[in-house]
Amino acid sequence: GNSVTQMEGPVTLSEEAFLTINCTYTATGYPSLFWYVQYPGEGLQLLLKATKADDKGSNKGFEATYRKETTSFHLEKGSVQVSDSAVYFCALPMDTGRRALTFGSGTRLQVQP
Amino acid sequence: DAGVIQSPRHEVTEMGQEVTLRCKPISGHDYLFWYRQTMMRGLELLIYFNNNVPIDDSGMPEDRFSAKMPNASFSTLKIQPSEPRDSAVYFCASSGNLYEQYFGPGTRLTVT
C-alpha cells in the first residue's frame, strides 16, 4: 500500500517566520495528496489538496506542490502567525481504489509571539 | 451543513463497562470512517463503510470492538468490555464522491 513520511516535530518558530514541513510519499500511480490540520481539542480539518502532479494546493496562506520527481508534498507558508499553532498531517489514499486515507505521524507547529 | 456530529464529546467509564460512541455523517456522504488517535500510535483507521456496508474492518483491534451503520445518517462504535488501553480520542469522518474526508470533533474516552 501507499505510505507517507513527515518530518519530526515539534517545529518552533517566531511569528512572521517562514514555515516548511516536509512530506514524502510512496505510492502506486499518482494519487491525490492532502494536508490536514488539527487545532487543540478539535478534529482534523482539510487544509489543502492536490489531485495531480505539478498541481499546487493553497489555502489560508499555506501552499504545497505535488512533486512526482521527488515524491514530495512539502507544506509552506511565508509568514506564520500564533494562530497557526497546530498539528499538521500529510495524507494520501491507502491504496489504489481504496477510499481510506493513510496519514503521516503529524508535525506539531508552535509559533511564538 | 452542521458537519460531522459525534457524541458524547467526553466519556469516562470503568474497566469492563460497555461504551457506545455515536456519529452522524454529513448528509449525502456515502463513506464513513472510524479512527482512533493516541500519542503512541497516532491516527489509526479502525473501520470504514460505503453505503452503510462495512468495507474494511482490518483495523478493529479485537472482538471487543464492533461498529454498525444501520442507515445513512447514523453509525455506532461499541467497545464491550472496555479496558484502560482503549483510552484514546475516537474520530468519525465522512466523505462524498472525492477522497477528501471531513472529521467530527472526536470523543475523548477515558477508561479507568
Give the pLDDT of residue A3: 93
**B8: Cα separation from own chain's centroid:** 11
Cis amide bond preceding A10, omega within 30: yes
Mean pLDDT of A65-70: 95
Residue of A nearest to B104 (CA): A43
Residue with cell 489509526: B44
Parallel/antiparallel/unpaired status of strands A11-14 and A107-112: parallel
pLDDT grade for B1, boundaries at 50, 70 and 90: low
Kindly state the percentage of chain B with pLDDT values over 90. 88
User: Are B56 and A100 inside 8 Å of each other by CB?
Assistant: yes
User: Are A105 and B42 inside 8 Å of each other by CB?
Assistant: yes
Contact B111, B52 (CB under 8 A): no
User: Are A93 and B99 inside 8 Å of each other by CB?
Assistant: yes
Q: What is the DSSP letter of A42?
A: S
User: Are B100 and A46 inside 8 Å of each other by CB?
Assistant: yes
Give the pLDDT of residue B83: 96
Give the pLDDT of residue B110: 98
The tens digit of pLDDT for each residue in B29-68 reads 999 999 999 989 889 999 999 999 999 999 998 899 999 9
Q: How far is A61 from chain B (nearest CA, A)?
A: 20
Q: What is chain B written as a DSSP string?
A: ----EEE-SEEEE-TT--EEEEEEPPTT--EEEEEEEETTTEEEEEEEEETTEEEE-TT--STTEEEEEEETTEEEEEESS--GGG-EEEEEEEE-SSS--EE---EEEEE-
The tens digit of pLDDT for each residue in A23-64 reads 999 998 889 999 999 999 899 999 999 999 999 999 999 999
pLDDT grade for B90, boundaries at 50, 70 and 90: very high
Contact list in A for residue B56 (CB cut-off 8 A) is 98, 100
In this predicted structure, which of A85-89, A92-96, B87-91, B108-112 has the lowest mean pLDDT?
Answer: A92-96
